[in-house]
A and B are shown apart, each in its own frame.
Chain A
């Protein structure tokens, strides 16, 4: 259990991704992809314990598409997804009629950019722990 968990960061803003990565590097093995396609490929190739996903990428809410794809995937659907987005309110526009927290992946969490380093580490740890607990059940 002592091996480091792996976290994939998918965000099209390289500076922001670097900021997130620097925080997570302290406790995890991290990888960064800058678009949903590369992110998806990375998820196919390697196992990750957590995905940190930006929503507004490319031509719009491409992160949402990626999240939906993950939810439909038999292998990846159990992977925790931490959504880190520019604006919570925008999520409400993308998911009209739903609460601000969209819940489109059963195990996701949502944080607003920029994220407090402590809080990010807490959320990441909690999501990974919850996922482990589900698996061992």
Chain B
């Protein structure tokens, strides 16, 4: 990496300190500015945008601590290091708490100073890179909907639209086998469109407004819908799906969104099952909660992946199953579940299977056998 010229600002009321620092830096590739008071240092910081600032803690007028805070509020990516005249741990610690990256006790040797500069500039490079990455990620997120919808979705929609017409027009004209192939094409395009939509939804949809339409929903309904949707894939893989659902278990929510949440989990369970495996879906009402658990005997999730599976675009290793998802389903599921005031957790025994548990606040009269009435639904205050 080529060294670019970096800007170092030195703020100290002692001329001898500034002079000796300048002497040490002589011949280096860095640009240096000096200030003999806090106020002057701040002005320079504003106008000159330094990468690294050394500031003396004890100065007449504006204190080093104040300067530190002002510079940090000006630009939190500027790396600040404090000179401590009398190296008390307390003042150094306080400076660090106010955002200083490190401290350098006076007197210091030229080597100590150079080392501190190197470390400070390395830190600066890291901070700048991190900010750039974060900005890039936000821009990507913002542009994602537009890019995907227009560049990816439009051609798919055009193909599908024409297949719809063509299939109808060719009915009876082409052989049954050809007709079946056309329908398969249309069906695969449909899957692709659905996948693109899921991506988009996972990225852009604000689940918070769902709450405006919350109604009492018997959990059996979204579970049944989800199982129905997952059935094709289950049959294809000869995975048996067993459901035990308490018909009285009711939550306050959005049936469509809950279906999607359950389907994502059940779909995953089927997807990561081995052929001939079993997926058990149960929904019970207990302790004021409706608990939906999905247990599979599939390949499981490595412990290292487990904490991140609910993050958007995290896909983990395809591993033994050889399948990889889009990394959206579980992230969206968590958002839906959280919008319902619930939680989702996962445990897994790699190689033997996983258990996903969705817990939602129960609604309405308690099911016999549970203690006490379920609490009133609190719908606000969740993440928006």
- Given A86-B150, A90-B149: A19 and B205 interface contact (C-beta under 8 Å): no
Quick one: which of A13, A56, A114 has the most chain B CB within 10 A? A114
Contact with A along B194-205 (1 / 0, CB 8 A): 000100110011
Does B158 make an interface contact (CB < 8 A)? yes
**For the complex, what is the distance from the CA of A97 to the CA of B162, rounded to whole Å?**
35
Q: Select B157's contact among A22, A89, A114, beta carbons within 8 Å.
A: A114
Chain A positions within 8 Å of B200 at CB level: 87, 89
Max chain B CB contacts within 10 Å: which of A16, A18, A23, A116? Answer: A16
Q: Using known A-B contacts A89-B200, A93-B145, determine if residue A117 contacts B164 with beta carbons closer than 8 Å.
A: yes
Chain A residues lying within 8 Å of B179, measured Cβ to Cβ, are none
B150 touches A113 (CB 8 A): no
Closest to A23 in B: B165
What sequence of 0s and 1s flags, for each residue 127-161 of chain B, a beta carbon within 8 Å of any chain A beta carbon? 00000000000000000010001100111011111
- Which residues 41-78 in B have Cβ within 8 Å of A in the complex? none
Residues of B within 8 A of A113 (CB): 153-154, 157, 161
User: Is A115 part of the binding interface, using a Cβ–Cβ cutoff of 8 Å?
Assistant: yes
Contact B161 A114 (CB under 8 A): yes
Contact yes or no, B150 A16, CB < 8 A: no
Of B149, B158, B159, which contacts A87 at CB under 8 A?
Answer: B149
Question: Would you call A73 an interface residue if the criterion is a C-beta within 8 Å of the partner chain's C-beta atoms?
Answer: no
B165 touches A22 (CB 8 A): yes
Which residues of chain A have C-beta atoms less than 8 A from B164's C-beta?
A: 19, 23, 114-117
Q: Does A20 contact B (CB under 8 A)?
A: yes
A15 at the interface (CB under 8 A from B): yes
Contact A89-B205, Cβ < 8 Å, known A13-B154, A16-B157, A113-B157: yes
Are A87 and B165 neighbours in the complex by a CB distance under 8 Å?
Answer: no
Contact A86 B154 (CB under 8 A): yes
Question: Is B321 in contact with chain A by the CB < 8 A criterion?
Answer: no
B149 x A19 contact (CB < 8 A): no
Smallest Cβ-Cβ distance to B167: which chain A residue = A117
Chain A proximity of B106: nearest CB distance (Å): 56
Complex Cα–Cα for A18 and B168 (A):
15
Give the chain A neighbours of B379 by CB distance below 8 A.
none
In the bound assembly, the distance between CA atoms of A20 and B157 in angstroms comes to: 11
Interface size class of chain B, counting residues whose CB lies under 8 Å from the partner chain = 20 to 34
Q: Is the CB of A19 within 8 A of B162?
A: yes
Q: Give a binary string over A71-94; 1 marks a CB under 8 Å from any B CB, 0 the rest.
A: 000000000000000110110010
- In the bound complex, what is the Cα–Cα distance between A13 and B161 (angstroms)? 12
* CB <8 Å contact, A89 and B165: no
Given A89-B201, A90-B145: A22 touches B150 (CB 8 Å cut-off) = no
B204 nearest CB neighbor, chain A only: A89
Give A12's nearest chain B residue, CB to CB: B154
B193 CB-CB contact with A under 8 Å? yes
Tell me, rounded to whole Å, the shortest Cβ–Cβ distance linking B18 to chain A. 54
CB distance from A97 to the nearest CB of B (A): 11
In the complex, which residue of chain A has the Cβ closest to the Cβ of B157?
A113
Centre residue among B159, B164, B200, B205 by max chain A CB count within 10 A = B164
Output the residue of A18, A19, A22 with the most chain B CB within 10 A. A19
Task: Give A23 to B166 CA distance when docked, in angstroms.
Answer: 10
Q: Which of B145, B154, B155, B165 contacts A117 (CB under 8 A)?
A: B165
- Which residues of chain A come closer than 8 Å to B145, judged between CB atoms? 87, 89-90, 93
Say whether B158 contacts A56, CB under 8 Å.
no
Interface residues of B in 6-57 (CB under 8 A from A): none
Contact digits for A45-79, partner B, Cβ 8 Å, 1 yes 0 no: 00000000000100000000000000000000000
Nearest B residue to A15 via CB reads B158
Report whether A18 and B162 are in contact in the complex, using a CB–CB cutoff of 8 Å: yes
Interface string of A1-26 (1 = CB under 8 A from B): 00000000000010110111011000
> Do A19 and B158 touch across chains, with their CB atoms under 8 A apart?
yes
Residues in chain A near residue B162, CB distance under 8 A:
15, 18-19, 22
Task: Name B168's closest neighbour in chain A (CB-CB).
Answer: A117
Contact between chains at B153 and A16 (CB < 8 Å): no
Please list 7 pairs of residues, one from A and one from B, whose beta carbons are closer than 8 Å in the complex, sorted by A's number.
A13-B154, A13-B158, A19-B165, A87-B153, A89-B200, A114-B158, A114-B164
The chain A residues found within 8 Å of chain B, CB to CB, are 13, 15-16, 18-20, 22-23, 56, 86-87, 89-90, 93, 113-117
Residues of B within 8 A of A (CB): 145, 149-150, 153-155, 157-162, 164-165, 168-169, 193, 197, 200-201, 204-205
Starting from the known contacts A22-B165, A113-B153, 19 additional A-B residue pairs (CB-CB under 8 Å) come to A13-B155, A13-B158, A15-B155, A16-B158, A16-B161, A56-B149, A86-B149, A86-B154, A87-B200, A89-B145, A90-B145, A93-B145, A93-B204, A114-B160, A114-B164, A114-B193, A117-B164, A117-B165, A117-B168
